[in-house]
Structure 1
Amino acid sequence: MDIKEVLSRPEYQFIQTNPHLGGGSMLFATFGGSHAYGTNKPTSDIDVRGCALNSKRDLLGRTNFEQVIDNDTDTTIYAFNKLIGLLENCNPNTIEMLFGRPDSYVFYHPIGKMLIDKRDMFLSQKAVKSFGGYANQQLRRLECAVARDRLSQAKKEEHTLNSMKSSMKHFEEKYTEFDKGAIVLYTAESPREECDTEIFADIRLTHYPAREFNCIMNELSNVLGTYEKLNHRNHKKDEEHLNKHAMHLIRLYLMCIDLLENGTFSTYREKDIPLLMSIRNGAYQNEDGTYKKEFFDMVSDYDRQMNYAKEHTVLPPKPDYKQIEEFVMYVNEEALKVG
């Protein structure tokens, strides 16, 4: 699909007329979603992503432009300063905008091309947390949907418990005094009539910082709350939607491993497309809608590969903040000239 042809369609004229995007502010536009990854089907929506300069009013005045979202065309255009903050944290949804195929871009301004050329300055070991976190979210959504629609109450509790335990894996990194044995989660017979089993917690903490304890409880409560909300919804996720979650979970692992091992990656997953499309088309799903053991074995294998790559990565611990700052200063000085 030709990005220039797509953007020439009448429904995308808002890019020229929107006060935040027109008048020479646009830097670049590219495909997002399945068309960026190479996992699109004939029925797939077209997602467009891009970046525009902040205006003089944004930089010197009191306006605060962050992004323009057009729901009719599934288009999101980020303000330059907003995008930089996301890129510094290796946010998957934005960093992938800079690593698309060369023919997937429309450049409106030379600075747009400069941003793509300087993309490596944003890459760092922060990718482990950002990509890994997104992968964990996809896995949780997948488990939530399967648990809600197809499993007994006891099995649903087991899925919820596993997600809570997954969240706890990162506590030792985030909380300075957390001992992984201090909180033990498990399922047991419930005294409540409406439940066969439920999740219980044994907590052993002494002289523990109250603020950190509150953060830990909030994280576990958020996981529990996600499942509770899903269990009370009436509609079921269709099979294709479930398989998209499964596909994106594996895609995130593959992209993160690439990045950690090679110091770069490609948003377009040319070599991985057969695997990703087989997942999307249901090859790893059982007839009852649950997922085959081979799929979860694959998830575990990629998780191990990612953790190994993290320990041996060529990426620096942090992005090149000095180079980023100099580039931001240059770009915003140019933005003031545009007005």
Structure 2
Amino acid sequence: MKRLIKGDGILTINQIDEMVCSSQYDFLRSNPHLKDRIIFLTLGGSYSYGTNVETSDVDIRGCALNSPSDLLGLTNFEQVVHTQTDTTIYAFNKLINLLLNCNPNTIEMLGCKPEHYLLLTDIGKAMIENRKMFMSKRAVRSFSGYAMQQLRRLENALARDKMPQGRREEHIRNSMESVIRSFNSRYTEFDKGSFVLYTDKSQREDLDREIFADINLKKFPAREFNSMINDLNNVLSSYEKLNHRNHKKDDNHLNKHAMHLIRLYLTCIDILEKGDIITYRGNDLDLLMSIRCGEYQKEDGTYRQEFFDMIDAFDARLDYAKKNTALPESPNMKHVEEFVMEVNRRSLNE
């Protein structure tokens, strides 16, 4: 149980702090990688964004120093994941590498509201105060990738359940073609052949139309061919794995995906325009919660055109921000390295 009492609803910071001090979180104080080595603990997920509702889980995120044996010996600590409490604590060195790439799940740990930090040492405070050293144009690629994942989930669910079978097959084909377009960069041998996908009348009783493929390959590596087929099969599987739905539950999930899609745009634009990470979306809560509550979803479960117009507008704003940002292409590695060396020196002496 993540809550103090089932049915408590939205928890206050004091209640969450009390919860983290309870026996169910004793691993934070007994795990050899974490005991006396955690430099900060903070809220993650909906509670950190301000988009939490009564059914929201409490996610805890944090960072712990690497031990001397990790730094000088043979041990290797990367993270502790405690699934029962939705807690993830990253090793300092691993977290640095994720932050350098503006990984959304980790960079947002540095931009939480001050009161959302449940534990904060001097080193943790210094890391948060110096968070801008991790900001760069790499955020565009990382946040856009996560946003596209949310959009794909949304489109997949709508295509699977809301579209006529013929249109759904066209949508699946488009998704598969986007995978094929990546083959040129991922497989060096792809210039030896081609994949062409199209839809046509199906001979199967359960389909009106079906996706077909014309494949022309010569002396093509079998292992790479197998990887390509697996990539395409994964797209098909994502549409076909659910045959029965709890529509109310799934609509709630769809609206949550839609909300997080817009939140990712807003957060990335902040990074590019302000050079900072702002995790708690206080100024955007009315918009985000209206999406989460289904105000952009039609009665048939699809989304109003205004929602997709919003995505287009944020996409254009993100493109403009990318072209006009003052952020560098990559972080200042010398600055980051000096910080990492100082922290690890302190870790060796503690």
Compute the TM-score of the two structures, normalised by the length of structure 2: 0.83
| Runs of 5+ unmatched residues, structure 1 | none
The equivalent of 1:133 in structure 2 is 145
Superposed counterparts of 1:70-85, under 5 Å: 70-85=82-97
In 1, Cα distance between the equivalents of 2:54 and 2:345? 43
* Cα distance, 1:85 vs structure 2: 1.3
Match of 2:128 among 108, 116, 120: 116
In 2, Cα distance between the equivalents of 1:195 and 1:161? 14
Greater CA drift, 56-65 or 131-140: 56-65
The equivalent of 1:26 in structure 2 is 38
| Runs of 5+ unmatched residues, structure 2 | 1-11
1:72 aligned counterpart, secondary structure: helix
The equivalent of 1:17 in structure 2 is 30
* Cα distance, 1:244 vs structure 2: 0.6
In 2, Cα distance between the equivalents of 1:147 and 1:168? 20
* Cα distance, 1:213 vs structure 2: 8.7
1:238 aligned counterpart, secondary structure: helix
In 2, Cα distance between the equivalents of 1:288 and 1:61? 59
2:333 paired with 1:324: no
Greater CA drift, 153-162 or 167-176: 167-176
Superposed counterparts of 1:149-164, under 5 Å: 149-164=161-176
In 2, Cα distance between the equivalents of 1:106 and 1:192? 58
The equivalent of 2:7 in structure 1 is none
1:294 aligned counterpart, secondary structure: helix
The question of whether the paired residues in 1 share the 8 Å contact of 2:197 and 2:214 is answered with yes
2:175 aligned counterpart, secondary structure: helix
1:266 aligned counterpart, secondary structure: coil
The aligned amino acid for 1:59 is L
What's the C-alpha RMSD, in Å, of the aligned pairs?
A: 3.0
* Cα distance, 1:51 vs structure 2: 0.3
1:39 aligned counterpart, secondary structure: coil
In 2, Cα distance between the equivalents of 1:213 and 1:322? 42
The equivalent of 1:53 in structure 2 is 65
The change in CA–CA distance for 1:151 and 1:215 in structure 2 (over 3 A counts) is same
Compute the TM-score of the two structures, normalised by the length of structure 1: 0.86
The aligned amino acid for 1:35 is Y
The question of whether the paired residues in 2 share the 8 Å contact of 1:107 and 1:113 is answered with no
The question of whether the paired residues in 2 share the 8 Å contact of 1:66 and 1:82 is answered with yes
In 1, Cα distance between the equivalents of 2:209 and 2:168? 10
Superposed counterparts of 1:196-207, under 5 Å: 196-200=208-212
The aligned amino acid for 1:304 is A
Identity of aligned residues (%): 58
The equivalent of 2:9 in structure 1 is none
1:51 aligned counterpart, secondary structure: strand
In 1, Cα distance between the equivalents of 2:317 and 2:69? 47
The question of whether the paired residues in 2 share the 8 Å contact of 1:124 and 1:315 is answered with yes
In 1, Cα distance between the equivalents of 2:136 and 2:155? 30
* Cα distance, 1:200 vs structure 2: 4.3
The aligned amino acid for 2:30 is T
* Cα distance, 1:167 vs structure 2: 5.3
Deviations 1:310-334 (CA, angstroms, capped at 9, x unpaired) = 2222221111211112222222222
Superposed counterparts of 1:177-188, under 5 Å: 185-188=197-200
In 2, Cα distance between the equivalents of 1:223 and 1:56? 44
The aligned amino acid for 2:318 is M
Deviations 1:217-275 (CA, angstroms, capped at 9, x unpaired) = 765554334224x3456666522112111111111111112212222231011111001
The equivalent of 1:337 in structure 2 is 349
